[in-house]
Structure 1
Amino acid sequence: MGRVTGWERRVARPATVAGAATALLLLGALGPVEAADRIPIADVFEITIPVDDGRGVAHYEGAIHGAYRTDDATVLYWSLRAAKDSGADLRTVFEHEDVDLVGGVLADPRSLDVLLPLRDDAGCLCTEADDLDPSQDPYTFQVMYTAFPRIPADTTAIDVDVDGRGTIVAGVPVSNILPAGQQRDRASVVLGRGWPAVPSEERVEQVAVRDPLDLVGRAGAGDGSVTTEGTGADRLVRFDADVLFAFDRSDLSAQAQQVLESAIAEIEAAGELGRIEVVGHTDGQGTAEHNQTLSVARARTVADAMRAALGEDLHVDVEGRGWDEPIATNDTEEGRAKNRRVTISYETAGGDR
């Protein structure tokens, strides 16, 4: 059985700030009657991915509409578009090597089993890049589907991994009644014009259900994402940036606050503090300028959290080093994850740094 780490590291923001804007855009694409009567929206999300076309990153907006239990499967409906005026192409996010769109659902928090999309010899039972309507511009919301194994009858809500990078939409309701307006032989549909048809019963029956993945690392700090090095007066605490920040962002999540508070408590318990330095690092994706700015912003966020906990008069040196000091290869996702980090180095009073 495989293992998945970091399910709760990056939670899709509910409809506040940018999330609310996405919800309004979704509803604005429809007439008021359609929006109210035909388009369920469980939650909205945003995806940011690195690209090599000079922009550094590409932005996408989407929604999870709901999960629907059929006789043989669970069908998840979701929609996606490129952010308005972003210059992004919708196919790019489907084909990006580090993105797995709607690649797993957590159906039972007690077992921590992550269900994977159904697959047969022809591929996944889901919308893929070739299914997109080429006549639509990338800024038009297109509704997609992904089919998963049938979840238990007593399951009323699931959590959805939106991008395979830890962006989670939690609490998606499960219904036993498919929405009206199934479009025969269509794997994607423009939002407001119906829903992609679910896989046939015959096709689902031919699918070999894959073993669920065992979900580990829900607390973040117990999986090697926070490490402490050094003894005596000189210490260094290293945080996985993926634990603290969503991709390409520098604001802390609620979970990150807990992880930081625990580490700061240990620092405070070490005694009177001498010099403190917070340094942000990024991976090798995007542009050097963008990564430098991001690394500084993340280091400042951590420094601000330390001052809030230990006193505003605490002196903290803040620095960002962008992608200049990798500790692993940037050629693999595992290596890039190691390079995305924030370190706190400190000495207790009287120690030599």
Structure 2
Amino acid sequence: MRHQGTTIARLAVLTAVTGGLVLGGGPAQAAPEPEVPILGQGVGRSKLGPGPVLVSLHGVRRAGDATVVYWSTGYAPDARTGDNVDITTSFGGATVAASRDNLDPTADTSDVAVVDMKGQKAYTTVFGPKDTCLCSDSSAVLPYQPEAGKAYVMYAVLPKLPDNLNTATVKVAGKVFPHVPIEDGEMTPEKPRNGPTLVGKGWPKADPERVDKVKNVEKFIYPVSENSKILDSAVATRDEGDQTQIDIAADVLFKFDKASLSSKAKSEIKTAAVQIRKAEAEGTITITGHTDSDGADGYNQKLSERRAESVAKEIKPLLPKGVDVTTEGKGESEPIASNDSDEGKAKNRRVTITVPGGNK
């Protein structure tokens, strides 16, 4: 968002106000209160709302046989008050919850995932008997008319994370936060789940032991191949023994029949660069362009080459020292799905980054 930095700067003045939107992080900002940790923040805008919405991640905590993610959301201080607006419309699509029916009003607040990139698993919000979400009910934790400049706390209960997992990528309400530390124990002081809780006034009682009543908790753990759906990213990573394959959907990188990068391409390429660093790449990585079968063979070959070169130019400055880049185009010659359907063609339109020596 163009004015995101300005919005966060304006909200920062509320850090010392009890119950205000609490800002974290940059070197120019005041440190948050120690009892209100800020592990990540993102700014969005409600489709029907009066102004910017801030989503803050406060904690990822191991609790018995479960994991609790604590986060908050609220309108900017200068938003119009008195409007009946659903703040959750700023969260984006709820990827995991969207596949389940009749979940309102938890469909948006259940859109939480902790992704273990190295272990190649994504841990998502648990649903109990009768498809009951082990998470905050937005109608209970968000006021009918949210007050401008106030942040409201909520939670989600996920399956237990691996004991050796110290940091992870976390998705909350459509926002993705990398390198989030994982700690032990529920956040305190706890507040009963009987209404909205303002930031700085305690943490909701999550009752993580409720996972003990859920059968097959493992079904809420997904392989990393589902990663791109869970994180709303066009980037998917595959471990292939002595190398890592990173696929980026061409439809996100480029407009139809073009080789110049789209407006969203840079963020997806940055995501791929992070994966390359995590794979501890050495030597030369290969960037390969692929197309579907529409069009002439020769044209598709040249288009795939030009697209690979565009990605290479953008990603080179983001790579570790000593890592070289080479490009090639395969045109339509190496499909990974049938070209007989639109869905299959979309999968075939991709740029693949091959990282040797990945995932040591």
Aligned equivalents of 2:71 and 2:195: distance in 1? Answer: 12
Residue 207 (1) aligns with residue 229 (2): no
Question: Would you say the 8 A contact 1:188–1:196 is kept in 2?
Answer: no
Give the distance between the partners of 1:207 and 1:170, measured in 2 at CA: 29
| Residues matched between the structures, number | 245
Q: Which runs of 5+ in 2 are unaligned?
A: 23-30, 95-107, 226-234, 238-245, 275-286, 290-301, 303-309, 318-341, 347-360
Alpha-carbon deviations, 1:8-45, whole Å to 9, x = none? xxxx99xx93575277256233399x953311111211
Describe the shift of the 1:263–1:66 C-alpha distance in structure 2 as closer, same or farther (beyond 3 A): same
**1:194, distance to aligned residue in structure 2 (A):** 0.5
Separation in 1, partners of 2:211, 2:8: 36
Report what 1:66 is aligned to. Answer: 59
SS in 2 for 1:39: coil
Change (3 A) 1:38 1:161: same
- Please list, as runs of the form range in 1=range in 2, the aligned pairs for 1:99-114 lying within 5 A after superposition: 99=94, 100-101=108-109, 103-114=111-122
- Deviation of 1:86 (Å): 3.6
Aligned mate of 2:159, from 131, 136, 149? 149
Contact 1:80 1:143 in 2 (8 A): yes
- Distance in structure 2 (CA, Å) of the matches to 1:112 and 1:124: 24
Which amino acid counterpart does residue 169 of structure 1 have in structure 2?
Answer: F
2:60 corresponds to which letter in structure 1?
A
Match of 1:17 among 5, 29, 32: 5
Matching residue within 251, 254, 258 for 1:236: 258
Superposition CA RMSD, Å:
4.8
Query: Where does the alignment leave 5 or more consecutive residues of structure 1 unmatched?
Result: 1-11, 246-251, 265-269, 271-301, 310-333, 339-353
Pairwise CA distance, 1:204? 2.1
- What's 2:176 paired with? 168
Matched, 1:180 2:188: yes
Q: Structure 2: how far apart are the matches of 1:96 and 1:47?
A: 7
Q: CA deviation at 1:243?
A: 3.7
TM-score normalised by structure 2 residue count = 0.53
Distance 1:109 1:120, change over 3 A: same
Return the letter of the residue paired with 1:27: T
How far did 1:102 drift?
5.9
Q: 1:238 to 1:26 in 2, by over 3 A?
A: same
Q: How far, CA to CA, are the matches of 2:143 and 2:64 in structure 1?
A: 32
Contact 1:145–1:187, Cα closer than 8 Å, also in 2: no
Once the two structures are TM-superposed, the CA of residue 135 in structure 1 deviates from its matched residue by 7.2
Contact 1:73 1:149 in 2 (8 A): yes
Contact 1:105–1:158 (Cα < 8 Å) also in 2: no
Structure 2 CA distance for aligned equivalents of residues 86 and 263 of structure 1: 47
TM, length-normalised to structure 1:
0.54
**Alignment match, 2:88:** 93
The Cα offsets for residues 251-303 of structure 1, whole Å up to 9 and x where unpaired, read as x9745999xxx799xxxxx7xxxxxxxxxxxxxxxxxxxxxxxxxxxxxxx9x
Whether contact under 8 Å (1:243, 1:256) holds in the other structure is no
User: Which of 103, 117, 123 does residue 115 from structure 1 map onto?
Assistant: 123
CA 121–241 in structure 1, closer or farther in 2 if over 3 Å, else same: farther
Query: How high is the sequence identity, in percent, across the aligned residues?
Result: 19
